[in-house]
Structure 1
């Protein structure tokens, strides 16, 4: 663990008394660390089955936190309480696997990973924390499984759930996710979503219309790529309009792709936007910024794709793909959702806005809100996986501040 990381942990320790958080399905612990930085909670316990995620966490944050590499079904509330070593568990955090419901996957109803949603709520009932925060793909918002779980918790927890977008909170990525927030009824507090901080009146590249559009209520969902799942019972909950004021001009401007990663190229080094400067963390030469190896034929074909556009027929050998495949980002637009396959432009809009290659691990990490001081280790394909699977750290900080502020009086007692 770096000296800066160690000193940061030391400064945060005890600022919330001895309140702690635990995170299951933790990956690289981005949510727990967000609650440590922005909510001043201790991190008491982490769990995942991904060995490389745990190794990455320990490389960056040390071995002081118990991180179990095991199936969540083998975890009990007593185990987490024991790991807390006398500290009180204020919150349980978790991002259960979403592949069984994700629009990017086969959406198999029999996928065993779908059952892990219930395991998270089992632990909530067992631990009975002051609050819990869960994240998942948008389609979970109107699943009967989620409705049943929240109904079972209703005697003890007040809950809010809905679909939010990372770009609304200062990320340069239109990552749309279901967020569930619950507060124990003894807190007396009704949970609510964090209000959007970003919108503004600066024109942004619209990938659907392929032109610049001013952010406003009529264009918001198109800019953010908001869309309900096929067969959704309530299409309105997938729209971002309900979370925004009528006039977006009073908010900060959306952060663009160019502002997030433009300074990583040698010829633009030092030209940092406020977003990039905040994530640079004073690191002179960021790691994990190595281009993937693309063949010369591929590079030649991708050179035909214009900035912010879909590929012409000759770029894909006249094959037809879904709208995001082999498409190029725009420096004055938002990135689409970073997945675990961003090395492959055929899996989404992952082409650099001006270079004829896909995003590097560091560029994807910037779009996810990771600081340059976070180092991704082992094989590049494993680095890609932990970055794409992570919940954006800066978004986690926004939620942490919101929850911490709503429960401030309770936590201070």
Structure 2
């Protein structure tokens, strides 16, 4: 479905102005098009330095939207306003590179990419949009750099920031991210986090205890693999518990790995899950669903790992790795964070729950919330990077609906 058709279905054709959004560090444009699809905004401008990301975007959406392949430090607010071509820029979106602060990286304080956070907020100050939404790794929530940026914006913006989990919003993946939402003070609206949409009481696989358990507020952090707060006591975690004020039971159940990818098996003959229906296309088999070329020895070792379990020592050539390495997914569990190395079972819990291989690009894209009609081009390694770096499109849609609902009176006025 095109963004125009989705916009009409969403019922947001009541906007009296052609409100535009811009996304910097855009990658495949998943956030901007989430706002277009779910809330009726028009994508006016995109930016990144990754040529392959732009090529992937344009292969899917065409070249109508201006997509500048330049360092964000050379992008100005006027550039974005010019790209909007008279349309008011309602929102600025962005996911600055996180490798300098990521738990999966070296967490180098002097990584030059850390400074790009400032450029996002520089553009907010130059454009003065009605709202902005920024995403980054969990540890950014506690960084002094973010606190300084929020203080600088305080005269003009009301803000909320915190660490949320994609699984609580309908993704079959436990993916924690810092989310920052700001509304211009002229809107007279205080931003809040989007309320969780999923939880439920259906049994789900707990990778920590390796058994099926009922989700409860008390078990939530363990089920979602809540990350520890760096520099804080061990028991301090980035928790979703506070966001489930009424508990989990009244919500739809968490979406599981099996519900997300089981229909991609060539011999699948059952009914599509609601999640798969939302993402699938009439095509018999979507693109980018090809197994990686694992060697025979690795395949033999994969076969030793049972569903939902950690590997026996024999499966890792008698070496000790961190707890998720060479571990297998469970069809009734959540995936762990999809990274840019999901082809390598030694880099995380990326083994298919049944087959002796790691996830395909399409399976990982399903877990990330990409629709099957969005395709990835050229080399498999480049495809993997685009998938792993992306902000989940379906999660972007949840945030878009929340923002547009909170600002509806302003946008429709």
Query: TM-score normalized by structure 1?
Result: 0.97
- For 1:123, the equivalent position in structure 2 comes to 123
- For 2:80, the equivalent position in structure 1 comes to 80
Contact preservation (8 Å) 2:3, 2:37: no
- For 1:220, the equivalent position in structure 2 comes to 220
- For 1:44, the equivalent position in structure 2 comes to 44
State the distance in 1 between where 2:234 and 2:144 align. 12
Q: Find out whether 1:315 has 2:291 as its counterpart.
A: no
State the distance in 2 between where 1:288 and 1:252 align. 30
- For 2:27, the equivalent position in structure 1 comes to 27
- For 2:136, the equivalent position in structure 1 comes to 136
Q: Find out whether 1:69 has 2:62 as its counterpart.
A: no
Q: Is 9-18 or 360-369 further displaced after alignment?
A: 9-18
- For 1:273, the equivalent position in structure 2 comes to 273
- 1:55-75 deviations in whole A, cap 9, x for unaligned? 111011111100000100000
Contact preservation (8 Å) 2:8, 2:40: no
The 3 A distance-change label for structure 1 pair 232 and 142 is: farther
State the distance in 2 between where 1:286 and 1:398 align. 24
Q: How many Å apart are 1:269 and its aligned residue? A: 4.5
Q: Find out whether 1:199 has 2:196 as its counterpart.
A: no
Aligned pairs (5 A) from 1:205-354 = 205-232=205-232, 238-354=238-354
State the distance in 2 between where 1:235 and 1:120 align. 32
State the distance in 2 between where 1:203 and 1:94 align. 36
- For 1:401, the equivalent position in structure 2 comes to 401
- For 2:5, the equivalent position in structure 1 comes to 8
Q: How many Å apart are 1:235 and its aligned residue? A: 7.1
Q: How many Å apart are 1:218 and its aligned residue? A: 1.1
Query: TM-score normalized by structure 2?
Result: 0.97
Query: Matched residue of 2:331: which SS?
Result: coil
Q: Is 236-245 or 152-161 further displaced after alignment?
A: 236-245
The 3 A distance-change label for structure 1 pair 323 and 128 is: same
- For 2:375, the equivalent position in structure 1 comes to 375
- Structure holding more helix per residue: 1
State the distance in 1 between where 2:393 and 2:270 align. 24
State the distance in 1 between where 2:152 and 2:228 align. 26
Q: How many Å apart are 1:283 and its aligned residue? A: 2.8
Q: How many Å apart are 1:228 and its aligned residue? A: 2.1
- For 2:106, the equivalent position in structure 1 comes to 106
Query: Matched residue of 1:248: which SS?
Result: coil
Contact preservation (8 Å) 1:142, 1:232: no
Unaligned runs of 5+ residues in structure 2 are none
Q: How many Å apart are 1:209 and its aligned residue? A: 1.1
Contact preservation (8 Å) 1:96, 1:116: yes
Q: How many Å apart are 1:227 and its aligned residue? A: 1.9
The 3 A distance-change label for structure 1 pair 333 and 234 is: closer
The 3 A distance-change label for structure 1 pair 219 and 10 is: closer
Query: Matched residue of 1:81: which SS?
Result: helix
Query: Matched residue of 2:67: which SS?
Result: strand
Q: How many Å apart are 1:285 and its aligned residue? A: 1.7
State the distance in 2 between where 1:43 and 1:238 align. 32
Instruction: Tell me how many residue pairs correspond in the alignment.
Output: 410
The 3 A distance-change label for structure 1 pair 6 and 92 is: closer
State the distance in 1 between where 2:355 and 2:55 align. 32
Q: How many Å apart are 1:317 and its aligned residue? A: 1.0
Contact preservation (8 Å) 1:48, 1:71: yes
Contact preservation (8 Å) 1:103, 1:229: no
- 1:253-310 deviations in whole A, cap 9, x for unaligned? 0000000000000111553101011100323220000000000010001100000111
